[in-house]
Structure 1
Amino acid sequence: MDSSASNPKTSYHARSNSLPSSPHPLIAQVNEYLCRLRASEATSSSSSMSHNIVGLQDLHDCVDKLLLLPLSTQSLAQQQQEKWVNELLDGSLRLLDLCNTAKDALLQTKECTQELQSIMRRRRGESMLGSEVRKFLNSRKVVKKAINKALGNLKGAKDKCTFSPSEAENEVVALFSILREAEAFTVTVFESLLSFISGRNAQSKSCRWSLVSKLMYSKRVACEEEETHANEFSKVDAALLSVFMTSKLDNKHVENLQNQLEHLEMCTQDFEDGLECLFRRLIKTRVSLLNVLNH
């Protein structure tokens, strides 16, 4: 016997085998999108992140269609399901907050990147002023602080994402379960994306020094990392920290840094475009949930 069957609380991480044997086609489609997203979960390149953002767009398009079904509206609009709908509304607000945090982090990083690119073009081959690089590093510090706060807030929120089916119909349980699973995996993708933007996934614990420590040990500025573990954000962070230490760049270093900044700008723009589309879909889903509650 499946151990999950005896558990009085059904986690929002429930898998498709907890659904009825013949679920509605839209429920099956939501689960299919979740399976696709899980397949790419282990990768952490900018292209895979962009792919996951697009995957979330498709997922939430399907979720909204599911919510608009008369059966879904009638099931969730029942008085005894009001608590569940409120939990879904809380979850939708959490997703919007995460999306806004990511968008703000990208916008701030992109603006500083473009400003630094403009300065470098004007001063190609000349000394880089430490104050200009310091501004970029300070901006990234603010971005990382906001991301760490958002990720920290998620720890407590995840513990609340359980529900008790009680005597509800199996169809209602299946619907609520797949909606919470969609929410849960969206949170997971946002966690990965925010960590990617902060450059956290490219740093080993031994390399997470404070800025003061890095200044004291200038010969150890660059952590010995595998190239495949670095991303556009962490590469620029490390390169500019080195510039801040030396205040000078020769023509070769200028060219390399300019290339890194260009790649970072393209990456942030790609993420921004995808998140803007996703944000509109999350808003649409929230409106649908509000309509169910007011049905």
Structure 2
Amino acid sequence: MAFHTRSNSFPSRPHLIVHEADQHLCRLRSSEATCTSSSSISDKLSGLQDLHYCTENLLQLPLSQQALSQEQNDKYANELLDGSIRLLEVCGTAKDSLSQSKECIQDLQSIIRRRGGESALTSEVRKYMASRKMVKKAIHKAMVNLKGMKNRSAFSSLNNDNETVAIISKLRDVEAVTLAVFESLLSFISGPKLQPSSWSLVSKMMQSKRMACNEETEGNEFSLVDAALHKSADKAQNQLEKLESCIQEQEEGLECLFRQLIKTRVSLLNILNH
């Protein structure tokens, strides 16, 4: 998945921008029903980048700026602003989780490639599992915060301007879809519950090189690595390479999205400070 850059030009008529936002929202919503594979996650991250680029254009419209700057709408504008920082925090958690996982994966791959001794391999596997435990803990905390973001007050104090309601509602929709994608990503990274660390593990890995293993484990790249580490070094090495590639692609997508989320937050701040 190539995460592309975008030009600064955008449609001049408001309804074209709104229509474009609706198309991105529709595509991302429809993708929620698809399987949570690495390719689908990367596609969703790319789609989110497109959506937030479009949102940035939407925020530049005088109609949007007028709606958000009205005093009676301060409550909802501030909710969107608070939501923007939380989205950045969740995105940061995902980035840190991927970075930490990749570092441990590379260390483990290095030991396997060098045919390190059982003691060294045991140490690296334990390090990887400890890292996975820390990542899962951070993700659990982030998921709790995500649930708290889903509650939003009704439009009771908004004025009767249908366009104002439409603009704020659209921005809320963007936030909701972004949350859903982040939830899928975090669940993907978290993977299954780790098994207890009884460490006859490495001996089993070494011995199983000479054994045929017919059982195939289903799951995403993270879960496959967790399972492979309980089978064979060769199996683990193959899955570790796939996982590293998967992480690299998702890191690139998150970095592009993170920059776009910052731009959106800056635009909201500029509107509220005028």
Q: Which TM-score tier does this pair reach, normalised by the shorter chain?
A: 0.7 to 0.9
Distance apart, 1:166 and its partner CA: 3.7
Q: Which runs of 5+ in 2 are unaligned?
A: 1-13, 205-214
Is the alpha carbon distance of 1:255 and 1:107 closer, same or farther for their aligned partners in structure 2, counting shifts above 3 Å? same
Q: Percent identity?
A: 60
Distance apart, 1:213 and its partner CA: 8.5
Is the alpha carbon distance of 1:80 and 1:194 closer, same or farther for their aligned partners in structure 2, counting shifts above 3 Å? same
Contact 1:56 1:278 in 2 (8 A): yes
- Equivalent residue for 1:47? 39
2:222 to 233, 241, 258: 233
Q: How many residues align?
A: 248
Deviating more after overlay: 159-168 vs 258-267: 159-168
Matched, 1:132 2:132: no
Q: Which runs of 5+ in 1 are unaligned?
A: 1-22, 201-207, 220-224, 244-252
Q: What TM-score results when the alignment is normalised by the length of structure 2?
A: 0.84
- Equivalent residue for 1:15? none
Residue 159 of structure 2: SS of its match in structure 1? coil
Distance 1:280 1:146 in 2: 22
Letter in 1 for 2:196: L
Distance 1:160 1:233 in 2: 33
- Equivalent residue for 1:77? 69
- Equivalent residue for 1:184? 176
Distance apart, 1:84 and its partner CA: 1.4
Residue 150 of structure 2: SS of its match in structure 1? helix
Distance 1:165 1:214 in 2: 60
1:284 to 247, 263, 266: 263
Matched, 1:211 2:196: yes
Distance apart, 1:65 and its partner CA: 0.2
2:25 to 17, 31, 34: 34
Contact 1:165 1:173 in 2 (8 A): no
Is the alpha carbon distance of 1:83 and 1:226 closer, same or farther for their aligned partners in structure 2, counting shifts above 3 Å? farther
Distance apart, 1:119 and its partner CA: 0.9
- Equivalent residue for 1:205? none
Q: What TM-score results when the alignment is normalised by the length of structure 1?
A: 0.78
Distance 1:270 1:209 in 2: 24
Letter in 1 for 2:29: R
Distance 1:274 1:72 in 2: 28
- Equivalent residue for 1:175? 167
Distance 2:27 2:122 in 1: 45
Distance 1:261 1:213 in 2: 21
- Equivalent residue for 1:110? 102
Distance 1:213 1:151 in 2: 29
Higher relative contact order (CA 8 A, sep 6+): 1
Is the alpha carbon distance of 1:98 and 1:266 closer, same or farther for their aligned partners in structure 2, counting shifts above 3 Å? same
2:139 to 107, 132, 147: 147
Distance 2:216 2:87 in 1: 32
User: Structure 1 residue runs of 4+, over 3 Å off?
Assistant: 126-129, 160-163, 212-215
Residue 91 of structure 2: SS of its match in structure 1? helix
Distance 2:58 2:173 in 1: 14
- Equivalent residue for 1:275? 254
